[in-house]
Structure 1
Amino acid sequence: MCVRLAPPRHKSTQDNLSMAPSGARWVPIIFIIINIHCLVVPSFGASESELLFKVKESIEDNNALLSWNSSTPPCDGEHSNWIGIVCYAGKVWGLKLENMGLKGAIDVHSLKELTNLRTLSIKNNNFEGSWPDFNLLVGLKGLYISNNKFSGEIPAPSFQGMQWLKKLDLSNNQFSSSIPTSLILLPRLMTLRLDGNKFTGTIPHFQQKTLKSLNVANNQLHGQIPPTLSHMPASSFAGNGGLCGAPLEACQSNKPSTISVIVVAVVVGVAVIIVIGVVIFMLNRRKRHPTAPVENPTLTPPKKGACRDSDDGSVRSTSSHVSTGSRRGDNMKLTFIKDDTERFDLTELLRSSAELLGSGCFSSSYKAAMVNGPKMVVKRFKAMNNVGREEFQEHMRRIGRLKHQNLLPLVAYYYRREEKLLVTDFVDNGSLAIRLHGHQGLGQPSLDWPTRLKIIKGIAKGLEYLYKEMPSLIAPHGHLKSSNVLLTESFEPLLNDYGLAPVINQELAHDIMVVYKSPEYIQQGRITKKTDVWSLGILILETLTGKIPANFLYQGKASKEDLAKWVESVVPEEWTSEVFDKEMGSTKNSEGEIVKLLKIGLACCEADMDKRWDLKEAIEKIQEVKERDHDDA
């Protein structure tokens, strides 16, 4: 096992680059030999010199970088041969390109390949333009770009994945719009300078206990300063006319003027008159034109249109659902798959009390509790409106024939050209996503290691069964993620939303299904038999780290940084303290097995398909993982 040694601290290193790991003033020669032995030189890809040349080419007015040439390497041990390069163990550890009159672009993609890069400072130059993709540099501990001419909005997720970032200085640029909310997700953030920009809106609620220094002075911020920042000096918030609260003056509640009160009263009075008129009109109309007796309809799907989340769980039913005569009977008929299920029709579901469980681009789910009947989940799919009746019914029969303890069985389905509904049993214990990321808000305990291992093993068994029973499908699941894993009372996992790729509109599937977030689709525009394995790998990492995969946060595209890359950026010696979800509880007797499962997850979501395990190998390895180290039971 290789040991990473910390470099000695040099007096010449300035404060803004003092992020280098501390170490002893001398290192025993045997450890130096071990450290040199552990330096692995890749057999492929560009060298550090070549990568830095690319960075130099992207920069205008780069005469200050004349020492960057091929006659000498950038680093000799701790010594730098090139100006602006900070070295450690013969590798480029930092770039300090300050006060050089540089402008142009920063080749972040080349910097990303400098795997040992920990600090970047380009302050006091003439760089301009929009926010560079600095979040590609997941290993950075310090980023300093103050006193340049960067401008525009910094997208909200711009700092996701930068788990090691401690010091950030964006001061004295021309950034505008809101302060990016992903800053509150940086667990090690110590120093943050945003002063001297044009940020608007309110200050995010920073909760990090590590945050020692913050400066947002001279922006265009407003609202109350979060209480967690009240201990900061008042100068940190100066120059923002709209801010209030400690350490500034207390926020004042403005009393409404007399004119405002009169206007509101008039508006409310007019609204009441309009509502009364509408009610009278509807009552008179109902007397003249009675409708079919559908009571309290609460299960109509949301309106078609823009793909967005919805929190409206009780929208009205349309008349086309309840038309009279034989057509009404046809429209309201459910086709049942399970023979042992109590029969009901869509009218009964519409009459039941419904609760919106979730709504997104893929589907909307409702919990329907029927009077003196079972609790069901009705899922309305928004991307199946081009599937013919016979094709849809045949595929539903195929799915209905699947029977496995780790699959949520399909109970019934409903077909109309305009909409498709799938009905399943309601699972009380919720989804894996909720138990990993939302259990505290629901007052539920976290999942311990044995339970998480049991869930992963069950998911693997369910996926294996799908591959065996649906061999004609390239991705038999196609949408494997934590929100599509439901949990029984005994925490047995049930896969949901499986086998639907053939009936999803292909022009929409690319935007909404998980398999189309995979590296092979992003890079090559195709999915393979190993794509579901990639989804399984990401799911394993999510379960062990407790972190939401950034791959699935952005509609229509994968994120620029994913969970696997973040895990790989952490040295294995620090996995226990930095990567594993601390809410798994005591894992001292299981660390070896947890590490084993984490490595399996990384092998499953390997970006290079040739190196990625196939499903058979992945399942065999998963089943070998035990709850405790050296447990032969």
Structure 2
Amino acid sequence: MKLNPNTHVSSIISFSLLLWATLLVSVSSDLASDRAALVALRAAVGGRLLLWNLSSTPCNWTGVKCGQNRVVELRLPGMGLSGLLPIAIGNLTQLQTLSLRFNALSGPIPSDFANLASLRNLYLQGNSFSGEIPGFLFTLQNLIRLNLANNNFTGTIPESVNNLTRLGTLYLENNHLSGSIPDINLPSLVQFNVSFNQLNGSIPKGLSGESESAFQGNSLCGKPLVSCNGTESSSSKLSGGAIAGIAVGCVVGVLLILILLICLCRRKRGKKTETRDVGPAKPAEVEIPQEKAAGEGDNRSSGFSGVVKKEAKSSGTKNLVFFGKASRVFDLEDLLRASAEVLGKGTFGTAYKATLETGMIVAVKRLKDVTVSEKEFKEKMEVVGAMDHQNLVPLRAYYFSGDEKLLVYDYMPMGSLSALLHGNKGAGRTPLNWDTRSGIALGAARGIAYLHSKGTGISHGNIKSSNILLTTSYEARVSDFGLCHLAGPTSTPNRVDGYRAPEVTDARKVSQKADVYSFGILLLELLTGKAPTHALLNEEGVDLPRWVQSIVREEWTAEVFDLELLRYQNVEEDMVQLLQLAINCAAQYPDKRPSMAEITSQIEELCRSSSEKETHQTPDVGDGSSQQAYSVDSGAPSSVKD
């Protein structure tokens, strides 16, 4: 039988039209299903702002975002929702982000959440959800951030949490969870908190690197908290041989201590005999007090005593060398009689607050490991003393002798940016808003740009938050510039590692592009509120560039920012722009980094933009929902994986 060609073509066309119609109906049906789920949610929990226009597409509704004609985000934070969640949200099968934080929702999490296979971010904090944390949440393999804090969850933390291999954030604080913490071993986990529950037992080894605040308010022990003191299982008890070895070691230790005490007594007795000898009077000596270890009381002393010799004026005493128009209302003897208080121990020495008898206060840095000659020291200090800019801490005077090198600066009463960001984390802390942080960033940039403009070879060499000091109006003053060339190669501790550019191998030779890298880390610290690696004593800190780039690669930029910044509205775009600038500054290769002049210009424009918006900065603590629309080029190296 022979087919009619026209009939054959007609059949093909009809089949194609039928296929397209089927696809369109399918797509429409999927969005219709999403719409029905949202309408059911609205009917169940209400909400003062859920004034959705039901005659329009749900993609235009407040808090709803679509992708490929499906609902992919639902953000309803602080909307006054109350009651029980219906069995409906599980029909949003393409949902990637769900934020219902800070409402009055109660009851258990509905079982149909198990259908949200695409879910990456779940924010339910600040409600009254109750019951055990359902195990089906830990079957959602794509979850990256899970925040169940400030609810009424009970029961234990399921061991199945380890199924979430991509999880980066797990917040469970302020619930009623009990039992022990399971052995959590998640390679991507960077944010963790189970504080103020009813947990007990030892902290798993895999979580020992978290901060103490992540575990407080429980009955837990082990690092980073106090030792468990023998509460470990019987398998960890010491053997008889080990106990015997410890006993023998203790006996030997006691004997050594007795021998040491006898030697010290004899030595002391010998010194007393020497003081009875009559001889010519020795010149008086004064010494800057050594910095006390933590827990040894305050850091005040009666004065600088014991090292710097006060020689007779007739022998040509060296005095302080002042710069420019600096006030000369005191001399070396006045300084040595001043009461001293340790401000901190830095890369190049210890800083002191010196209060003169006249009431005048100055900051004194006692340098260590200075390797240059007196002539070279004088030449370099002349260069530093000539630096005159409103965003630099001016060097007022210096003293040089064979044993002592002292630098005298203006005293900054508000301390450092590091202390401001990481010092007081308690209830009395005043949140740092965008205006304060961006102003500090601009002031620091201007000071460093001035240094770079003074010559092709001038760089700071030690940019970090503890070297950004603050006035009473929170204006930034850059300190410690020009000192990196004075110290020996071994004098720089690892506390600068988190700020150091990857190409720097000698801390005494830091280029201006390396300064830019350090400033980029400083900006990331300002924006995230996190300290970089080894920046703080007793805390490891965070590999900031790597952490930020990993978050940005997940296209969830808001998670980068300090929660104190997310309290304020209308500055999201400016924050993201400053984040992009910070990432550019911290580029792996020096030629990819902008100059400090370019950086300063961009921050000035950002601050001008914020000022023109006349932002009132109304607090609205959140998950940064409005930032999702902005994109950041992470510039992440290939080693950074999702």
Distance 2:567 2:589 in 1: 35
1:567 corresponding residue in structure 2: 548
Distance 2:209 2:478 in 1: 40
Amino acid aligned to 1:415: F
1:399 corresponding residue in structure 2: 384
Cα pair distance change 1:452/1:315, threshold 3 Å? same
Cα pair distance change 1:488/1:208, threshold 3 Å? same
Q: What TM-score results when the alignment is normalised by the length of structure 2?
A: 0.55
Amino acid aligned to 1:359: K
1:273-292 deviation line (CA, Å, top 9, x unaligned): 979x9799489649866544
2:43 corresponding residue in structure 1: none
Q: What TM-score results when the alignment is normalised by the length of structure 1?
A: 0.55
Pair 1:581-2:565 in alignment:
no
Distance 1:369 1:535 in 2: 33
Pair 1:452-2:519 in alignment:
no
Amino acid aligned to 2:485: P
Cα pair distance change 1:194/1:561, threshold 3 Å? farther
User: Shift in Å at residue 493 of structure 1?
Assistant: 0.7
Matches within 5 A, 1:45-194: 142=162, 164=169, 170=183, 186-188=191-193
1:410 corresponding residue in structure 2: 395
Cα pair distance change 1:491/1:600, threshold 3 Å? same
Distance 2:283 2:230 in 1: 53
2:83 corresponding residue in structure 1: none
User: Shift in Å at residue 340 of structure 1?
Assistant: 3.3
2:523 corresponding residue in structure 1: 540
User: Shift in Å at residue 422 of structure 1?
Assistant: 0.8
Amino acid aligned to 2:481: Y
Pair 1:428-2:413 in alignment:
yes
Distance 1:629 1:516 in 2: 28
Cα pair distance change 1:491/1:284, threshold 3 Å? same
Pair 1:466-2:451 in alignment:
yes
1:376 corresponding residue in structure 2: 362
1:335 corresponding residue in structure 2: 321
Cα pair distance change 1:591/1:346, threshold 3 Å? same
- Tell me, what secondary structure is at the counterpart of 2:214? coil
Pair 1:299-2:288 in alignment:
yes
1:500 corresponding residue in structure 2: 483
Distance 2:557 2:422 in 1: 20
Distance 1:403 1:187 in 2: 45
Equivalent residue for 1:322, pick from 309, 313, 319: 309
Matches within 5 A, 1:26-41: 26-27=93-94
Matches within 5 A, 1:189-268: 207-208=213-214, 222-223=228-229, 239=234
Residues 537 and 603 of structure 1 are in contact (CA less than 8 Å); yes or no, is this contact kept in structure 2?
yes
1:481 corresponding residue in structure 2: 464
Pair 1:520-2:503 in alignment:
yes
Residues 222 and 240 of structure 1 are in contact (CA less than 8 Å); yes or no, is this contact kept in structure 2?
no
User: Shift in Å at residue 354 of structure 1?
Assistant: 0.5
User: Shift in Å at residue 553 of structure 1?
Assistant: 5.2
User: Shift in Å at residue 450 of structure 1?
Assistant: 0.7
Residues 516 and 527 of structure 1 are in contact (CA less than 8 Å); yes or no, is this contact kept in structure 2?
no
Residues 571 and 610 of structure 2 are in contact (CA less than 8 Å); yes or no, is this contact kept in structure 1?
yes
Distance 1:509 1:602 in 2: 25
Distance 2:460 2:273 in 1: 48
Distance 1:300 1:599 in 2: 44
User: Shift in Å at residue 624 of structure 1?
Assistant: 1.1
Distance 2:506 2:315 in 1: 49
Cα pair distance change 1:169/1:143, threshold 3 Å? farther
1:408-456 deviation line (CA, Å, top 9, x unaligned): 1000011123332111011111111111111356966332211111111
Distance 1:280 1:212 in 2: 54
Distance 1:354 1:212 in 2: 41
Unmatched 5+ stretches in structure 1: 8-21, 32-87, 92-115, 120-140, 146-161, 173-182, 226-236, 243-262
Residues 354 and 368 of structure 1 are in contact (CA less than 8 Å); yes or no, is this contact kept in structure 2?
yes
Amino acid aligned to 1:26: T
User: Shift in Å at residue 462 of structure 1?
Assistant: 0.8
Residues 515 and 531 of structure 1 are in contact (CA less than 8 Å); yes or no, is this contact kept in structure 2?
no
Cα pair distance change 1:615/1:370, threshold 3 Å? same
Distance 1:339 1:622 in 2: 32
1:490 corresponding residue in structure 2: 473
User: Shift in Å at residue 611 of structure 1?
Assistant: 3.0
- Tell me, what secondary structure is at the counterpart of 1:619? helix
User: Shift in Å at residue 405 of structure 1?
Assistant: 0.5
Distance 2:489 2:221 in 1: 48
Cα pair distance change 1:523/1:188, threshold 3 Å? farther
Cα pair distance change 1:524/1:542, threshold 3 Å? closer
- Tell me, what secondary structure is at the counterpart of 1:477? coil
User: Shift in Å at residue 548 of structure 1?
Assistant: 0.9
User: Shift in Å at residue 479 of structure 1?
Assistant: 0.7
Matches within 5 A, 1:283-294: 285=276, 290-292=281-283
Residues 514 and 535 of structure 1 are in contact (CA less than 8 Å); yes or no, is this contact kept in structure 2?
no
Residues 288 and 303 of structure 2 are in contact (CA less than 8 Å); yes or no, is this contact kept in structure 1?
yes
Aligned-pair identity in percent equals 31
Cα pair distance change 1:629/1:502, threshold 3 Å? closer
Residues 410 and 423 of structure 1 are in contact (CA less than 8 Å); yes or no, is this contact kept in structure 2?
yes
- Tell me, what secondary structure is at the counterpart of 2:447? helix
Distance 1:286 1:442 in 2: 60
2:595 corresponding residue in structure 1: 614
User: Shift in Å at residue 626 of structure 1?
Assistant: 3.2
1:626 corresponding residue in structure 2: 607
1:605 corresponding residue in structure 2: 586
Equivalent residue for 1:552, pick from 520, 527, 535: 535
Amino acid aligned to 2:401: R
Unmatched 5+ stretches in structure 2: 1-64, 73-88, 97-116, 121-140, 145-160, 173-180, 238-253, 615-642
May I ask how many residue pairs the two structures share in their alignment?
438
User: Shift in Å at residue 587 of structure 1?
Assistant: 1.3
Equivalent residue for 1:439, pick from 424, 430, 433: 424
1:363 corresponding residue in structure 2: 349
Residues 298 and 351 of structure 1 are in contact (CA less than 8 Å); yes or no, is this contact kept in structure 2?
no
- Tell me, what secondary structure is at the counterpart of 1:583? coil
2:374 corresponding residue in structure 1: 389
- Tell me, what secondary structure is at the counterpart of 1:626? helix
Distance 1:460 1:215 in 2: 44
Distance 1:525 1:403 in 2: 23
Amino acid aligned to 1:368: A
- Tell me, what secondary structure is at the counterpart of 1:391? helix
